[in-house]
Amino acid sequence: MPPIDRRQFLVAGLAASATGLSAFSARAENGTEAAQAVLRRFIGAASDRFTLRLASASDARPWHQTEARGGRVSITGSDPVALTRGAYSFLTSTGAASMSWEGDQLSLPRHLADHGRVRRESPFRYRAYMNTCTFGYTTPWWDEARWRREIDWMALHGINLPLAMEGQEYVWQALWREQGLSEAELAAYFSGPAFTPWQRMGNIEGYDAPLPQAWILKKRDLQKKILAQMRALGMTPVLPAFGGYVPKAFAEKHPEARIYRMRAWEGFHETWWLDPADPLFAKLAGRFLDLYTEVYGAGTHYLADAFNEMLPPVAQDPRAAANSSYGDATANAEAAAKLDPALKAQRLADYGAALYASVAQARPGAVWVMQGWLFGADKAFWAADAIAAFLSRVPDEKMMILDIGNDRYPDVWTRAEAFRGKSWIYGYVHNYGGSNPMYGDLGFYRDDLQALTRREDTGNLSGFGVFPEGLDTNSIVYEYLYDLAWGDAADSQDAWLHAYLRARYGQSPSPGLMAAWNRLIEAAYQTRYWTPRWWKSRAGAYLFFKRPTLDAVDFGEIPGDHHELGQAVDALILSADDLKDNYLFVFDLIEAVRHYVSGEIDGRIGAAIRAYASGDLARGDALNQAIGDLALRLDALLGHQPDTLTSWTKAARDYGDTPQDKAAYVENARAQITVWGGKGNLNDYASKAWQGMYASFYLPRWRRFFDVLRQSAAAKTAFDQDAFTAAVIVWEHDWVKSNAGEGLSRPTDPVGDARALMRMTRTEQGVIL
């Protein structure tokens, strides 16, 4: 059976009649049946050849055991997720099937060969997944079928601790209505669908408002179905809790309350945070969880992040006037640094204890979960003594810390002395902003996790997780990481890669294909953190994706080995004759071409700026033309990929029920991946290497820059960067309100186009570089 094209897979409604995806609610009477249902949706009738059994006794470590005899596969495991993981491990290790965001490969033989008994266990009780930001960068337009598929993906990859953040606006709305907020005040409070995570974390309020009521109700209904499926599989969904942020309208109605006006995050306006010492805090926190439980049922793990990229107001006197200002980040950081250490520790301890109590009062026995990102992102404030104080009065068994950033901030858990007995999860963010350059570091992940499990100073390490801000990119990274978490990647990387490619493409890779992929790993997958995304405090995955500036001439090369990347792409193209009809191979080839050509465009940008600056207009024009030719050819090629500007905006449009909602969702979607919002430096943070973005946004923006730069060079006048930036910001906002870049065509010969594009880069190198 050929691989399944994800675009066709989704358009077909996930083959609801054959796989049961039209009925999202979990119908399984027990975990074994729920696991069997996942398998049935994945491989269809072949799932009847798999017998799943739960072990009668629980074990300290999750495990699964597989064995194939007489054409049947028997799988025993410690829990339902272990069963699905065991089935997936068998299928991938035999090359029979694989599941990824871009599509599935199913090639189960008519008769399954015998396979000896294999037992795998994970050293991690929990395998966590998702980031609070994922619910803005990826999922705002997901429907029931798409969520069902993602939960199946989680189960097959052995994940049992997912974040479950959908649907909470319905509860927040009910809470604030009870507190006397009017419908107009509520409409001004909630931010647009693609920006809800930062609303929830207290970074923003009312951006791109109002949030349509239809969206709130759809997400309410969706969350009920998400939780039913997760719970049927024995997963532990992490649910939201109250972290202290309140609407401005609530603060104005309570002048007597200890509410701080927090800093204006990334150019947005300030938000408002209620001191946990104020009696209102416990009241609001408890009522939120009561309302949440009424709608969605009780949970065991609740996420409350009070200080996401916001410093705790420890320097403020809690006895001071209500609604006091804490809005200047620099001034307050300086004040906190001068504060008596004992007083700072006391206030942090008070905050930690009160946040825990706010969960415990409403859900006795529940675990307070928080992300540990702040301990790395605000390292100067969160020194070891500050972390210790914050955790000091929370019972060890009632707290879990998600130490998500070990690919960027690897010293948090050691500085925190492994969080002093608290349960904690070790993991990586990997993807920021849902942006999609080709990167990861397979060797680092292997060595890092092996070293972690051997250490004796990890305290109450309870799990491992991957916490991407966005999904649908670099599938190999996530396949490898969850294989590592289950001991399925213990052999050499070469052996793992052979099995991965066999499962992904449905046939054993040739020596040439193996060599090509090994070169690709050497070129692109030895990069732990994508440094260009935040170059000179300016966002964008590549230079081409950043708002144009004259100092772009100083931009260095993208991470990895660009020359080796070109060789890897050439080697992949040599394998294309045998695999040109294999959807997943063509997808991978185009991703590699995209990454290489984007680097080529970046190099030409710097050369063009230097040429114009030196007065060499002819050379600048030639490079400018080359940039445009490459960008347009690449944009056309990317029409083969499932994710495009059109697919993103179509999903947003389809989510609306009225013309007004449809238009609002599309504008919201286009804003997030470009201007983002506010007056800070978040523009292009969620940049996307998609069809439509190269041709309609990035290229026209750079062409405007080169036009002005050329005019300045020809007139021998200084280039006015400020004037250009002001003008291009107006253009960007006009683009958000347009439909530019949508409705483009899919290539009929993607492999041929990829070959031609690579030949084009070589020709231009010889002529103008």
Burial 622-637 (b: 16+ CB within 10 A, else e): bbbebbbebbebbbbb
How confident is residue 765, by pLDDT bands cut at 50, 70 and 90? low
Alpha helices per DSSP H over 94-143: 134-137
- In whole angstroms, give the CA distance from residue 376 to residue 527: 20
Quickly count: other Cβ atoms within 10 Å of residue 282's Cβ.
Answer: 17
DSSP result, 414-432: HHTGGGGG-EEEEEE---S
Classify 116 as helix, strand or coil: strand
| Average pLDDT, integer, range 11-31 | 44
Confirm if 649 and 695 have CB atoms less than 8 A apart. no
| Average pLDDT, integer, range 470-491 | 94
Report which of 300, 306, 295, 318 is spatially closest to residue 272, judged by C-alpha positions: 306
Confirm if 439 and 524 have CB atoms less than 8 A apart. yes
Classify 452 as helix, strand or coil: helix
- In whole angstroms, give the CA distance from residue 604 to residue 622: 10
Confirm if 505 and 518 have CB atoms less than 8 A apart. no
- What is the residue-averaged pLDDT of the chain? 92
222 pLDDT above the threshold of 70: yes
Beta bridge partners of 127: 464
DSSP 401: E
How confident is residue 332, by pLDDT bands cut at 50, 70 and 90? low
- Segment among 320-324, 353-357, 384-388, 683-687 with least mean pLDDT: 320-324
Burial 338-375 (b: 16+ CB within 10 A, else e): eeeeeebbebbbbbbbbbbbbbbebbeebbbbbbbbbb
Strands 301-303 and 103-106: unpaired
DSSP result, 249-311: HHHHH-TTS-EEEE--GGGS---EEE-TTSHHHHHHHHHHHHHHHHHH---SEEE--S-TTS-
Classify 158 as helix, strand or coil: coil
Location of structure tokens 């929830």: 200
107 pLDDT above the threshold of 90: yes
767 pLDDT above the threshold of 70: no
Quickly count: other Cβ atoms within 10 Å of residue 407's Cβ.
Answer: 21
User: How far, rounded to the nearest angstrom, does the alpha carbon of residue 8 sit from its chain's CA centroid?
Assistant: 24
- In whole angstroms, give the CA distance from residue 83 to residue 51: 10
Q: What is the pLDDT of residue 14?
A: 38
How confident is residue 320, by pLDDT bands cut at 50, 70 and 90? low
- In whole angstroms, give the CA distance from residue 9 to residue 14: 5
One-letter amino acid of 2: P
- In whole angstroms, give the CA distance from residue 243 to residue 383: 22
* Strands (DSSP E) found in 389-484: 399-403, 423-428, 440-441, 461-466
- In whole angstroms, give the CA distance from residue 181 to residue 173: 9
- In whole angstroms, give the CA distance from residue 169 to residue 220: 8
Q: What is the pLDDT of residue 12?
A: 36
- In whole angstroms, give the CA distance from residue 399 to residue 81: 23
Q: What is the pLDDT of residue 680?
A: 81
Model confidence pLDDT, tens digit, residues 502-525: 999 999 999 999 999 999 999 999
Classify 48 as helix, strand or coil: helix
User: How far, rounded to the nearest angstrom, does the alpha carbon of residue 723 sit from its chain's CA centroid?
Assistant: 35
DSSP result, 498-533: HHHHHHHHSSPPPHHHHHHHHHHHHHHSEESS-GGG
How confident is residue 327, by pLDDT bands cut at 50, 70 and 90? low
How confident is residue 15, by pLDDT bands cut at 50, 70 and 90? very low
Confirm if 120 and 457 have CB atoms less than 8 A apart. no
Model confidence pLDDT, tens digit, residues 539-585: 999 999 999 999 999 999 899 999 999 999 999 999 999 999 999 99
Here the tokens at position 695 are 């041709």
One-letter amino acid of 376: G
Question: How many Cα atoms are found within 13 Å in the side-chain-facing hemisphere of 504?
Answer: 24
How confident is residue 321, by pLDDT bands cut at 50, 70 and 90? very low
- Segment among 165-174, 266-275, 599-608 with least mean pLDDT: 266-275
Q: What is the pLDDT of residue 330?
A: 61
Report which of 386, 366, 382 is spatially closest to residue 374, judged by C-alpha positions: 382
319 pLDDT above the threshold of 60: no
Distances, alpha carbon 752 to alpha carbons 101, 519, 570, 586, 597, in Å: 24, 22, 13, 11, 15
Contacts of 432 (CB under 8 A, 6+ apart): 469, 470, 530, 533, 685
Confirm if 675 and 192 have CB atoms less than 8 A apart. no
- Segment among 263-277, 375-389, 399-413, 529-543 with least mean pLDDT: 263-277
Q: What is the pLDDT of residue 2?
A: 44
H-run or E-run covering 734: helix 721-736
- In whole angstroms, give the CA distance from residue 473 to residue 434: 8
Quickly count: other Cβ atoms within 10 Å of residue 92's Cβ.
Answer: 22
- In whole angstroms, give the CA distance from residue 682 to residue 668: 15
Quickly count: other Cβ atoms within 10 Å of residue 116's Cβ.
Answer: 8
Q: What is the pLDDT of residue 311?
A: 81
716 pLDDT above the threshold of 70: yes
Beta bridge partners of 375: none
